[in-house]
Structure 1
Amino acid sequence: MNCQLHTSSIIVDAHCDVLTVLAQDKCSLKASRDSGHVDLPRLRKGGVKVQFFAAFISPQYRGNYLRRAMELFDRFYCELDDCSKEIMLARDFNDLVKTIELDKIAAILSIEGGEALEGRIEVLRMFYRLGVRCLTLTWNGRNELGDGVAETWTCGGLTKFGVEVVKEMNRLNMLIDVSHLSEAGFWNVLEISTQPVIASHSNSGTVCPHPRNLTDKQIKALAAGGGVMGLCFYPDFVHQQSPSLEKLLDHIDHIVSIAGPDCIGLGSDFDGYSGRLEGLGDVGDLPALTEGLLCRGYEEEDIRKFLGGNFLHLFKKVWNGKTGEGIVC
């Protein structure tokens, strides 16, 4: 195994749901766990340098979405305090670079589900002030921003409020995440956004036909706009019969063949599902992905792009190395 290639790469995971697990089980990120996919020891073992922590706003919290978001933010900041020697919050690209130089893990706070805004644009601005730098506009269902992929009856796009949110996120230099969004909404975002967008945890719908995956047309458009998609390790999105690391590599092969190597990143969705992907069971197994890419014949330059380089390029472009000061309303 080429350990040097893996350890010298800046590995970015654009989506995990460990905050939900930590809040539910009242456990610590610092402690090694036998269950689940993510903890601090395994993050180190996997070589992760930049980790997105998603505050998932589950439908079960209807009527209390904002409160749920605040509970998960509190869990996030408690973990940062507890793991301050190992993890630091990144609010901008400069923070991210400094954290990596200190050999710490850069933590980026995101929200999965625009329900958390409860229909108010001022809440988005407050989330920004609290350190949120990425928003997945919808989960599977409908919210005030638009339809998710499960709304197959209407298949609607963005609402008027959803358009307002996209424009405000552009102004704030926040990352717009189109994973879970309906296809109509996807095209609305690409038409409206003045900045590249991400699909934080989505795969190829050609390799694995699932509503959560992207069509070839979507992937090509995302890439053409400078966007990046994070490959998701959720077995159902990898292969319908025999999900495995090898099948995940098939997604990379296909995406490269239609859109090139510059639109691929990682968005594991670790701790957002039960079970394990064969060959890539948790974050500590990420070196196996690097080895698999080498076995497929990819050049080291492209492997570094897949592991994190493409996302870093996008972050620098969207965040522009700025601190996000002066968010005038």
Structure 2
Amino acid sequence: MDTRNDWHGLHSGAVVADTHNDLLMAVVARPVPRWASYFRERWLPQLRAGGVDLQVLPVFIADAYRPEGALRQTLRMIEAAHRLADGNQDSVALCRDGAELDAALTSGRIALVLALESAPGVGDDIELLETLHRLGVRVASLAHFGRTALADGSAEDGTGSRLTRAGVEAVGEMERMGMIFDVSHLGATGVEHVLEISTRPVLATHSSARALRDHHRNLTDDQIAGIARLGGVVCVNFYAPYLHETDHTLDRLVDHLEHVVAVAGIDHVGLGPDFIKEVFADTTPPCCEPDDYGPIPYLPGLEGPSGLPLVTEVLVRRGWAAADVVKVLGANVVRLFRDELGRAG
């Protein structure tokens, strides 16, 4: 059997879900009349080349907009998502529930799902979550690296903080509306708090295994197992420094996938690439990368979504069963979204 054709055909036939690509940051940095066409020219070919069928679009608000301009920039990014979807209706569809997701996939369009990353525009005004839900947001987290009115991010693990009172209220409101809670970037104690109080499945959109790489952005085995017990999915991050200190290869990525499968079970693992190379290239001056990152190592061939078939190649080479590959590539995330998106609690 031709091994290359085997994995290539497997990838082509699978539903591929990417739960974290910050491409909206690059879209909204263009002039408004260019939002739809820029997406069509810059990102759509890459998504197609990578076989992406479901793309989560995080709304991440850069520090320059916080705190005063955070809500305005949140609304601009949501508007950009709607406009790029409206301007590319033959190729993509913004999805708010399982029925819309299925309709998009059946028609061969890429299903887009809006997510909030840390929700700085909300602050402790929890009623705004319902406003954003009306605008199509279906996934949300409460913190990034630092502290918010709702929770502490993972870089603040030293505080040992649980969710604030407003953060607990936010979890309840999200469950009521059918907005999936995202634990990625949340501080360790906050993750444990969420797992204590959640009554519906939660999602880690882009987190790897702390047992393999002791970094605050990764999840412990207990946290991974807790997400699985709730029926959620852990989507492994491709960001090279979170996978290994020095060995930035596809095999180290698959090590993390295999570890999460061993802890959570094959039905609770997905892909959360966090592709940032082109986002940085399109949103920062040509002189440099953002100061807080410095020189960034990337997994070879996986600098962007067009490289996603390489993951399938390594999984097949490692001896994974085809059915298991299909689950991790996207079937697990599609199942979660089909069951939970927009379903009132």
* Alpha-carbon contact 1:136-1:178 (below 8 Å) kept: yes
Structure 2 CA distance, aligned partners of 1:153 and 1:60? 25
1:30 equivalent in structure 2: 40
1:253 equivalent in structure 2: 258
SS in 2 for 1:222: helix
Residue 292 of structure 1, aligned match among 314, 331, 336: 314
**CA drift at 1:275:** 5.5
2:237 equivalent in structure 1: 232
| Structure 2 residues without counterparts, runs of 5 or longer | 281-295
Letter in 2 for 1:243: H
1:263 equivalent in structure 2: 268
1:122 equivalent in structure 2: 127
1:317 equivalent in structure 2: 339
Structure 1 CA distance, aligned partners of 2:62 and 2:303? 24
SS in 2 for 1:284: helix
**CA drift at 1:58:** 2.4
Structure 1 CA distance, aligned partners of 2:202 and 2:312? 25
Residue 170 of structure 2, aligned match among 165, 185, 192: 165
Structure 1 CA distance, aligned partners of 2:115 and 2:259? 28
* Alpha-carbon contact 2:96-2:341 (below 8 Å) kept: no
1:54 equivalent in structure 2: 58
* Alpha-carbon contact 2:145-2:153 (below 8 Å) kept: yes
Task: Tell me the TM-score normalised to structure 2 length.
Answer: 0.88
Residue 92 of structure 1, aligned match among 90, 97, 103: 97
Structure 2 CA distance, aligned partners of 1:82 and 1:317? 28
SS in 1 for 2:55: strand
SS in 1 for 2:130: helix
Residue 85 of structure 2, aligned match among 80, 85, 88: 80
* Alpha-carbon contact 1:53-1:108 (below 8 Å) kept: yes
Q: How many residues align?
A: 317
Structure 1 CA distance, aligned partners of 2:338 and 2:48? 24
Residue 151 of structure 1, aligned match among 146, 153, 156: 156
Bigger mean CA deviation after superposition, 170-179 or 307-316: 307-316
Could you report, residue by residue, the CA deviation over 1:199-221 in whole angstroms, capped at 9, with x for unpaired residues? 10000011111110001111111
**CA drift at 1:278:** 1.6
1:185 equivalent in structure 2: 190
Residue 102 of structure 1, aligned match among 81, 102, 107: 107
Determine what percentage of the aligned residue pairs are the same residue: 37
Is 1:18 paired with 2:28? no
* Alpha-carbon contact 2:199-2:230 (below 8 Å) kept: no
1:35 equivalent in structure 2: none
Bigger mean CA deviation after superposition, 88-97 or 308-317: 308-317
**CA drift at 1:121:** 1.7
Structure 2 CA distance, aligned partners of 1:278 and 1:136? 29
* Alpha-carbon contact 1:147-1:181 (below 8 Å) kept: yes
Structure 1 CA distance, aligned partners of 2:259 and 2:194? 24
Task: Tell me the TM-score normalised to structure 1 length.
Answer: 0.92
**CA drift at 1:237:** 1.1
Structure 1 CA distance, aligned partners of 2:118 and 2:341? 21
Structure 1 CA distance, aligned partners of 2:258 and 2:128? 40
Structure 2 CA distance, aligned partners of 1:204 and 1:152? 16
SS in 2 for 1:150: helix
Structure 1 CA distance, aligned partners of 2:303 and 2:123? 35
Is 1:301 paired with 2:306? no
* Alpha-carbon contact 2:115-2:140 (below 8 Å) kept: yes
Is 1:43 paired with 2:65? no
Letter in 1 for 2:44: L
Letter in 2 for 1:295: R
Describe how 1:188-227 pairs up with structure 2 within 5 A: 188-227=193-232
Could you report, residue by residue, the CA deviation over 1:129-164 in whole angstroms, capped at 9, with x for unpaired residues? 000000022111110111111113412110000000
1:134 equivalent in structure 2: 139
Structure 2 CA distance, aligned partners of 1:291 and 1:304? 12
SS in 1 for 2:245: coil
* Alpha-carbon contact 1:14-1:201 (below 8 Å) kept: yes
**CA drift at 1:104:** 0.4
| Structure 1 residues without counterparts, runs of 5 or longer | 33-38
Structure 2 CA distance, aligned partners of 1:48 and 1:240? 29
**CA drift at 1:269:** 0.9
**CA drift at 1:24:** 2.3
1:36 equivalent in structure 2: none
Bigger mean CA deviation after superposition, 86-95 or 233-242: 233-242
